[in-house]
Amino acid sequence: MGYCRANAWPLFVAAWFPCFLTTLCLTVLALVLFADPEQAPTWLLSRGFDPRTWLSAIVAAPFSAMVFAFVLDRMANAPEHGRVVVRRGIESVKHVAIPGMRFELGQRIFLAALLLAASQLLCGFAVAGEHRLLVAGLLAIRDLPLSPEDVAPWAAATGVFNLFAGGFVLAWTYLFVGDFLWTGSFDPIGCWRALKGNLLRFVAIMFIVLAIVAILKYGLILAAGLILIPADAEPSFLTLMLMHFALAWPFNVLHLVLSAATAGTILGAFRPPAIASIRPTAAQ
């Protein structure tokens, strides 16, 4: 947290553009698939994702990997603690360099994105399968129609379980992705051994980070909805989508920066960095 406070501006500069692209792409994806829900192919839909299609995990993963790479690059190569350094722009797109914007496409980004997407797909499909099992179980032991009293306790229990299980998987995914970018090799066993004795501390810190961001994010979205949308109004699908993703964008930046900085702090203490693997290709 101290590192993030001292380097808030350069970390924001590193993360805002990939997070903006994530928001833009997910908004377009939601509009294309759900503007007319009856026309959306059922094989693309799944309850475990936001928006409710497994494509969202694949779309968001490369940009999340960019944020992790840029934050870890900053932590490994910053000349001194707390100094504001704004590096030049788009790294691997030839002949393009825009101050204040960072974008990179390369093997390390795609491999890190593959790890992130696989984790998100696993969690999302697990949530969707869990929902089907819950519905099937309730239909087997309860008579139709199901009342809110029948569903609420089970929904609350599965929600709490998903919160902790998903947070645990996400924390370790972020650590292994960070370790891959930090060391230049995918070695989860070596990472696990290097952190021996500090595993619970890392998980606890990541849970705190994820919980704080989630509470702020969904609290703001709820408050904005209550304030901006009159009780008797029926907002359009476009309005709801734009409001949802616009309000979520700054918290996505916060979520990824804090998660990457936490992983970088842990790795910096216990894992030797491979600087060449972290530093992006110089701008053309």
How far is the C-alpha of 197 from the C-alpha of 118, rounded, in Å?
Answer: 27
Number of domains forming the structure of the chain: 1
| pLDDT single digits (tens) 98-117 | 556 778 878 888 999 999 99
Percent of the chain with pLDDT over 90: 11
Instruction: Map tokens 């949802």 to a residue.
Output: 244
The model's pTM: 0.80
Q: What is the 3-state secondary structure (H, E, C) of 198-233?
A: CHHHHHHHHHHHHHHHHHHHHHHHHHHHHHHCCCCC
Range of the domain at 172: 2-278
Question: What's the gap between Cα 102 and its chain centre?
Answer: 18
Mean pLDDT rounded to a whole number for the chain: 77
Nearest to 180 by CA among 235, 116, 234, 112: 112
Domain membership flag for residue 283: no
Chain segment 174-231, per-residue pLDDT in tens: 989 988 988 888 888 888 887 777 778 888 888 888 888 888 877 777 776 667 666 6
Residue 172 located in a structural domain: yes
Please check whether residue 264 lies inside any domain of the structure: yes
What pLDDT does residue 55 have?
Answer: 93
Angle (nearest 5°) at CA 227 between 221 and 216: 25
Q: Do the domain assignments include residue 284?
A: no
Q: Which of 14, 141, 37 is nearest to 84 (CA)?
A: 14
Residue 40 included in any domain: yes
